Structure 1
Amino acid sequence: MKNILKKSKLILLAGLLVSCEGFLDPKPNQSLVVPNTLTDVQNLLDNTTVFNNQGTLPLLSTNEFWATDEAYNGFATVVEQGTYRWADDPYQGSFTSDWSDPYSQVFYANVALETLAKIEEESGVSPQLNELKGAALFHRSYAYFNLLQQFSPPYSRDGDNEGSLGIVLRESADISTRPVRASLLESYSQIQTDLTMAAELLPQQASPKNRATKSAALGVLARFYLITFQYEQAIQAAEAALNLYQNRLDFNTLNFASSRPFARFNNEMIFYSVLSSVSFHRSAQVYADSTIVKLFEEGDLRLPAYFSKSSSGYYNFNKHLTGLPFLFGGISVGEMQLIAAEGYARQGNVQAASALLNELLSLRYQTGTWVDLEITDEDELLGRILEERKKELFGRGIRWTDLRRLNQYPTYQKSLIREINGEQFTLEPNSNRYVFPIPDDEIQRSGISQNPR
């Protein structure tokens, strides 16, 4: 009965912030529901509804999918329609959980960190306390990372990151203080600090995979270094994650006749997280972009593993790495291999880049059909690696971040075009619309600066 009461208190805590009108508003009577023990903190951090969920606006905005007019007209919310067509005001006064949910994660992580600090002061340090501290730091930094991909400009390869606006950084559970947006550089520096400490504190293994591990923290660090153009550090973080996490998934072992070929916590996953579900994902008339589908060569098992061909001849992305109807957004082995391969390719190390790419693809092609690539040209190899990112990481929300960073290279700049109900919409490279606006109600309540659109 005592454990049930403790879990009930934590469920109440998990509901308080969501019930508030805006994240940056003061909360009602927080003191009644603050956890007090290591078990309480573990239960709080095990709330998968809070911590293993991430935004979906980037998926609606990329060129991975296209919707028929009928599908577009049937989207359940104006937010989905506005985001899909890159509207100046995509929300039309509506609520978007892509902003509030990550800040919920930040709040709960800070509650955990403050509770752990009190326990440490009273009882000293323990291995369990350190692991929980690492998990809280991981979840906070992962939330910050996802917020930056949506609500701040991309990290500039050559520009002034100190002069650009980042996000609101919350280092305590007291949300009554006046919020201020940190600089982009400060925001990314906070992520690096949190993740580096998390990687030192977290265990190598954890079960189930919704819990943070050392390899998961290194995986997010690899993403961080990739999008901040620190390729040597990206290689080191990705390879360290791969060395710690030894499991690999051979797609030849999957049952493609099944509507769910993947087990929920399969060997490909380093850390489990899903994208928020919206009607866009569920529509039978939202199809994979044909230019990406054509990249799948004969024998590439990722096509039957993830897609089904519709009666119209187009492909639906309706089989997911999660083994559930939810789209995967977490950290995977394939992503780490591709990050390290890209880092090596950009450094001119063709041999190391090719070895990682061939290791990945040998497990993605039908047995007997794969022949190792022997690409000696650096630019050609980099192009192939970026193509493989489109296929391997399809439908995970990562393409949006890739577009933002690759638009800074003239060779890879791309204009996105949609045709909707007879009208054409275009998203130009490096447009302000690569940064989502902060919801108007949040701007009105908190007074923080809005993004130009």
Structure 2
Amino acid sequence: MLTSNPANMRTINGVKLAGLSLIFLTACSKYTDIKTQGALVNGKLDNYSLLLNSTSNFAAGPSICDYASDDIQLVDGSNQQKELAANTLSYDYYMNAYTWQPTIYAIASANYQDYTWSNLYNSVTIANIIVNEVPTVDDATPAQQEPVIAQALVHRADAYLSLVNVYSKPYNRTTAGADLGVPLVLVQTTTQPLVRASVQTVYDQILSDLRRAIPSLPPTQNFSFIPSKASGYGVLARCFFYMNMYDSAARYADSALAYKATVLDLSTVTDPAMSYPQYFNNPEILLAKQARGYSGTTYGPATFRLSDTLLHVLGDDDQRYNLYTTTPENISFDYTDAGGRFFFMEGNVSNYNNRNVGVTVPEMMLIKAEYLARTGSANAAMDLVNQLRIKRIKQGSYVALTATNADDALVKVIQERQREFFCRMLRWWDLRRLNSEARFQTTITRRFNGTTYTLARNSNRYVFPISEYNRRLNPEIEQNPR
């Protein structure tokens, strides 16, 4: 396996930061050194197009955030909770994230690697190879090279946007220049220190990548995991949204919707396994990214039991409740003592393919709606919310939402975000973002195995720690304050 360099320099293709296996890194090196192996010829554009279009290279998104959010709630003393507590070697990451511990991935655990970190930096690594080597190919003009480079830049920007929103403090304009970001690696070299760039520097790079990419992106996409102009504008809108720059976020959300604006009509769907599209051809998805981790969240102890507050916000006329959640006995007869509902989107739809955490059409609509509410346009904000809700509420039960004023509209927009994105990462990001506003700050309390845990508003625990495995490999990576 990988070993640390005493001089704090990286020696395995410049990507030891990802905690990837030597086998994978060697494979990447051999791949780009191929001379005459079949159709893969060094210096040819198709070489990099194949890298770009492999879902194994770019499909992974963050998976750890949901465990910490108020979307889920384990019932203390329930069989599920007891099963988790009895299997710490396998499920300690779940319990540690759920209770906001200073260490999520213990070195002594069977699950000592942080797959959110390694998967995202794997995407960065492959994107860097494409961005830096495609200009050297000898069988394509710059005009042919640019779309390939542009799509890699979108993947790199999206990966860094996820990394900085998991392992760094929420964006604050006044402190972002000093707040710890993540290692910013733009070129794969044999030796480089992996010190953490500032939050501001990481965001500046994300914006730079996207602005460079968008003019060369294709106007449409054949599959949702291939970046298009809608993808680029969508990631750009999300980026500005989590910088609290709502005017810019709304403008680019509009740009994304100008290219792709389809909303699936769930109002009459009764069998999602038959009626709901797979992630790669879902017309709502602007850029597909799957929440990948150690285990699925549909069966066994790792299943997400939805919180009572979320279920109250959802309501049983909401098709997202009917299609994406299930009763305890459908998970395990042992779990009926927990009551409530369990997240079941993966189990119902295309075998783990649809826990998408990438940008979507509904996300763009709600970004624009939040901007409108924040700027006093309550009716316009609610119009957008209702355009989404009419496709989400069971046929015959839909009633348009109204708001008494802009503040009320803002509350309703944020509630709609929780309904639309539950168990798909964004609720945790929203809790972090909204901590800067007193009216939305909240203290989360939960019990696990007889102990009460509290996440205070603006706590350092809203930032995930960097795994000790990665820090042992790269001692220069500073840990987050706890």
TM-score, normalization: structure 2? Answer: 0.84
The equivalent residue for 1:49 is 56
| 1:92 partner SS | coil
- Code of the aligned partner of 1:90: I
The equivalent residue for 2:319 is 301
| 1:400 partner SS | helix
The equivalent residue for 2:406 is 378
| 1:249 partner SS | coil
CA contact (8 A) 2:51 2:57 kept: no
State which drifts further: 403-412 or 192-201. 192-201
Q: Distance in 2 between matches of 1:273 and 1:27?
A: 22
CA contact (8 A) 2:16 2:473 kept: no
Counterpart mapping for 1:8-19 below 5 A: none
Q: Distance in 1 between matches of 2:397 and 2:298?
A: 33
Cα offset, 1:19, TM superposition = 9.3
Q: Distance in 2 between matches of 1:441 and 1:388?
A: 38
Deviations 1:330-360 (A, max 9, x none): 2221111111100111111223212211111
1:451 lines up with 2:464 in the alignment:
no
Counterpart mapping for 1:116-265 below 5 A: 116-119=134-137, 123-126=140-143, 128-156=144-172, 159-256=174-271, 258-259=272-273, 261-264=275-278, 265=281
1:102 lines up with 2:107 in the alignment:
no
- Code of the aligned partner of 1:252: S
CA contact (8 A) 1:260 1:324 kept: no
The equivalent residue for 1:316 is 342
In the superposition, relative to structure 1, how do residues 198 and 69 fare at CA in structure 2: closer, same or farther (>3 Å)? same
Cα offset, 1:412, TM superposition = 0.7
Cα offset, 1:298, TM superposition = 5.1
| 2:314 partner SS | coil
Cα offset, 1:101, TM superposition = 1.6
- Code of the aligned partner of 2:121: Y
| 1:166 partner SS | strand
2:95 to 81, 106, 120: 81
CA contact (8 A) 1:24 1:176 kept: no
CA contact (8 A) 1:216 1:271 kept: yes
- Code of the aligned partner of 1:373: L
Q: Distance in 1 between matches of 2:14 and 2:351?
A: 27
Q: Distance in 1 between matches of 2:364 and 2:415?
A: 15
CA contact (8 A) 1:108 1:173 kept: no
Cα offset, 1:176, TM superposition = 1.7
State which drifts further: 414-423 or 369-378. 369-378
Q: Distance in 2 between matches of 1:354 and 1:29?
A: 51
Q: Distance in 1 between matches of 2:181 and 2:414?
A: 27
| 1:417 partner SS | strand
The equivalent residue for 1:4 is none
State which drifts further: 279-288 or 162-171. 279-288
Q: Distance in 1 between matches of 2:231 and 2:140?
A: 29
CA contact (8 A) 1:181 1:449 kept: yes
Q: Distance in 1 between matches of 2:404 and 2:133?
A: 54
CA contact (8 A) 1:80 1:280 kept: no
- Code of the aligned partner of 1:307: T
Q: Distance in 1 between matches of 2:234 and 2:116?
A: 22
1:360 lines up with 2:388 in the alignment:
yes
| 1:360 partner SS | helix
Deviations 1:26-78 (A, max 9, x none): 96596532153221111101121221112211111111112342242246232
1:332 to 360, 364, 381: 360
In the superposition, relative to structure 1, how do residues 193 and 19 fare at CA in structure 2: closer, same or farther (>3 Å)? closer
- Code of the aligned partner of 1:88: P
1:413 lines up with 2:419 in the alignment:
no
CA contact (8 A) 1:17 1:27 kept: no
Query: CA-atom RMSD, angstroms?
Result: 2.6
Q: Distance in 1 between matches of 2:21 and 2:113?
A: 14
In the superposition, relative to structure 1, how do residues 412 and 21 fare at CA in structure 2: closer, same or farther (>3 Å)? closer
The gaps in structure 1 that reach 5 residues or longer are: 1-14
Cα offset, 1:324, TM superposition = 2.8
The equivalent residue for 1:70 is 82
1:288 lines up with 2:306 in the alignment:
yes
In the superposition, relative to structure 1, how do residues 115 and 233 fare at CA in structure 2: closer, same or farther (>3 Å)? same
The equivalent residue for 2:3 is none
Deviations 1:81-126 (A, max 9, x none): 2222111122222221121221111111010112211127x75312
The equivalent residue for 1:33 is 31
The gaps in structure 2 that reach 5 residues or longer are: 1-11, 33-41, 75-79, 330-335
CA contact (8 A) 1:318 1:325 kept: no
* Higher normalized contact order (CA 8 Å, seq sep 6+, divided by chain length): 2
State which drifts further: 193-202 or 398-407. 193-202
In the superposition, relative to structure 1, how do residues 21 and 294 fare at CA in structure 2: closer, same or farther (>3 Å)? closer
CA contact (8 A) 1:260 1:319 kept: no
CA contact (8 A) 1:20 1:27 kept: no
CA contact (8 A) 1:284 1:316 kept: no
State which drifts further: 187-196 or 46-55. 46-55
Percent of paired sites with the same residue:
28
TM-score, normalization: structure 1? Answer: 0.89
- Code of the aligned partner of 1:314: G
Aligned length: 435
1:396 to 424, 443, 459: 424
